[in-house]
């Protein structure tokens, strides 16, 4: 699924499912960010991508807080995080994280 498909599917979710999607996406982004680490060390192999994941994480949690505070029911993050990911060369990783998050909401374990 591409980011437009994710955004479209997310717009159809119930409010509680949207909250779960944002929380799940936050979790999935931390996993995706681990791919920037240099295995077996504390060094970073891809600092640009790691910074991008951090920025995406900031946007996702901001949107989650807005939704929890009932200030906004619109999940506005999709074009924002997509642009951040594409600029850093981690668009595919973002798409995978979004797909896993959506699947986790639609098909809970």
Q: Coil, strand or helix: which one is 71?
A: coil
- Compute φ and ψ for 43, nearest 5 degrees: -85, 160
- pLDDT of amino acid 106: 93
Please tell me the predicted confidence (pLDDT) of residue 71.
79
Q: Which residues contact 46 (CB under 8 A, 6 or more apart)?
A: 35, 36, 90
C-alpha distance from residue 86 to each of 20, 79, 102 (Å):
25, 10, 20
**Mind listing the pLDDT tens digit for each residue in 51-77?**
999 999 999 999 999 999 987 778 899
In the prediction, which pLDDT does 109 show?
Answer: 63
Given this model, what pLDDT does residue 98 score?
A: 97
**Domain segments of the chain as ranges:** 3-106
* DSSP state for residue 18 in the 8-state scheme: H
User: Average model confidence (pLDDT) for the chain?
Assistant: 94
Placement of tokens 């295995």 in the chain:
39
Per-residue pLDDT of 22-45, as tens digits, reads 999 999 999 999 999 999 999 999
């Amino acid at each position: 699924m591409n980011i437009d498909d994710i955004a479209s599917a997310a717009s159809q979710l119930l409010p509680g499912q949207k909250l779960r999607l944002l929380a799940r996406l936050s979790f999935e982004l931390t996993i995706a960010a681990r791919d920037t680490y240099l295995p077996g060390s504390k060094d970073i192999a891809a600092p640009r991508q790691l910074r991008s994941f951090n920025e995406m994480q900031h946007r996702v949690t901001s949107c989650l807080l807005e939704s929890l505070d009932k200030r906004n029911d619109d999940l506005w993050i999709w074009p924002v995080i997509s642009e951040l990911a594409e600029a850093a060369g981690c668009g595919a990783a973002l798409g995978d994280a979004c797909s896993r998050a959506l699947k986790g909401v639609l098909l809970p374990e």
